Structure 1
Amino acid sequence: MMEDDDDFSAAATTVVFDRPIPLLRGPVPSGGSYVLAFRSLDSWSAAFKRCETLIKDQCEEGAKIGCAVSASNNCKPPWWRGSGGDMREREKCEEREFEGCVAAAKGKCAAFAKDKCSGAFLDARIAKDKEVEGLVWLASMPEESRWRDLMGLGGSLRLHTNNCCCTARDLLLKP
């Protein structure tokens, strides 16, 4: 016998997924095979800045917690004075200690974020020309896409080139 609270309707059993995140890098033909590359220096730059911002924000949030604990420890009265004392003076001390600690952490977090993101992003490939940029966009479309058919491409995304990309390090270190 079936209970009344069992609901097998479409509304109760359908799982809704978030929209897919757009590709940061796409497949770019390179000498008979494909490599992942950013569409342009602008898309690489935006991804690098986002990486830096996310890591810096996480670092600063963690630093605030550590700074609060450190300020409390640095401003507590010595054990021989007992728990009595001027709480207003301790509060001012904690505020000074906390602000100084957070200010020092911000610079360190920015340097930490730049270091962590640079390792991955400087060796990332970036497509060199507009034709490749378009192919990265097309590669993110489904093979049976109406847009591919309208552009006369069908399923083919072949481009015969051996020099499709360069690394960000190569682009940024050029004079």
Structure 2
Amino acid sequence: MEDDDYSASTTTVVFDRPIPLLRGPIPAGGSEFVLAFRSMDSWAAAFKRCETLLKEQCEEGARIGCAVSASNNCKPPWWRWRGSGDMREREKCEEREFKECCVAAKDKCAGFAQDKCSAALLDARVAVSLASMPEDSTWTNCRARDLLPKKSSS
């Protein structure tokens, strides 16, 4: 006779906790709703997270590209390669080339991340309360770029 185990521990499927919504629906007038960040703090956290993730991914890709580039830039020409070249010189060259490439890529990745996140998030809507008392408050929304401090042009 077969002993089938139908206990809760063997038949229950555990799911990961749901990821909280970045934006939620807020009234936009009449029966219309728009998705908006709940506060400037939640918008700023999303912007920072976006920048951090894109920058990390970009730098990781750049490191791979820099390693290949350093190897190619430091290998001797085919007519001088006899299979036993001075590997210490090549190693020093590769380290130098790799480091220079990674430094340049780091700055480019920071700019790339900021550009991409700005394009995606500066026009995002952020919920704004129009009253100081919570029970009397009405909610509206503004574009994130309109809520950021203006940079002076002096």
- Whole-Å separation in 1 of the counterparts to 2:29 and 2:146: 20
2:11 and 2:88 map into 1 onto residues whose CA distance is 58
1:47-91 Cα shifts (integer Å, max 9, x gaps): 000000000000000000010000001001111112221111100
The more displaced of 12-21 and 55-64 is 12-21
What TM-score, normalized to structure 1?
A: 0.75
**Higher relative contact order, structure no. (Cα contacts within 8 Å, ≥ 6 residues apart):** 1
Report the alpha carbon displacement of residue 24 of structure 1 after superposing the two structures with TM.
Answer: 1.3
In the alignment, is the contact (CA less than 8 A) between 1:122 and 1:168 conserved in 2?
A: yes
Measured in 2, the distance between the counterparts of 1:9 and 1:89 equals 66
Structure 2 match to 1:17: 15
Partner of 1:65: 64
Cα distance, 1:130 vs structure 2: 7.2
State the Cα distance separating 1:107 from its structure 2 match: 0.6
Give a deviation string over 1:23-55, Cα, whole Å, max 9, x none: 211111111221111111111111000000000
* Alignment coverage as a number of residue pairs: 146
Aligned equivalent of 2:25, options 27, 48, 52:
27
- 1:42 maps to 41
CA contact (8 A) 1:59 1:109 kept: yes
Q: Which residue identity lines up with residue 30 of structure 1 in the other structure? A: A
Note closer, same or farther for the CA distance 1:172–1:73 as it changes in structure 2 (3 Å cut).
Answer: same
TM-score scaled by length of structure 2: 0.84
Gaps of 5+ in 1: 135-158
Q: Per-residue deviation at 1:12?
A: 2.7
Identity score, percent: 73
Contact 1:71 1:94 in 2 (8 A): yes
Q: Cα 1:44–1:79, aligned 2, differ >3 Å: closer, same or farther?
A: same
Note the C-alpha offset of 1:171.
Answer: 1.6
Who is 1:166 aligned against?
142
Question: In the alignment, what sits opposite 2:89?
Answer: 89
Determine the structure 1 residue equivalent to 2:53: 54
Q: Which runs of 5+ in 2 are unaligned?
A: none
Structural mapping, 1:75-114, within 5 Å: 75-82=74-81, 83-114=83-114
Please give the root-mean-square deviation of Cα atoms over the aligned residues, in Å. 2.4
- The one-character-per-residue Cα deviations of 1:111-143 (angstroms, maximum 9, x if unpaired) are 111111111101100111177xx8xxxxxxxxx
Distance 2:45 2:64 in 1: 29
Query: Which AA in structure 2 matches 1:121?
Result: L
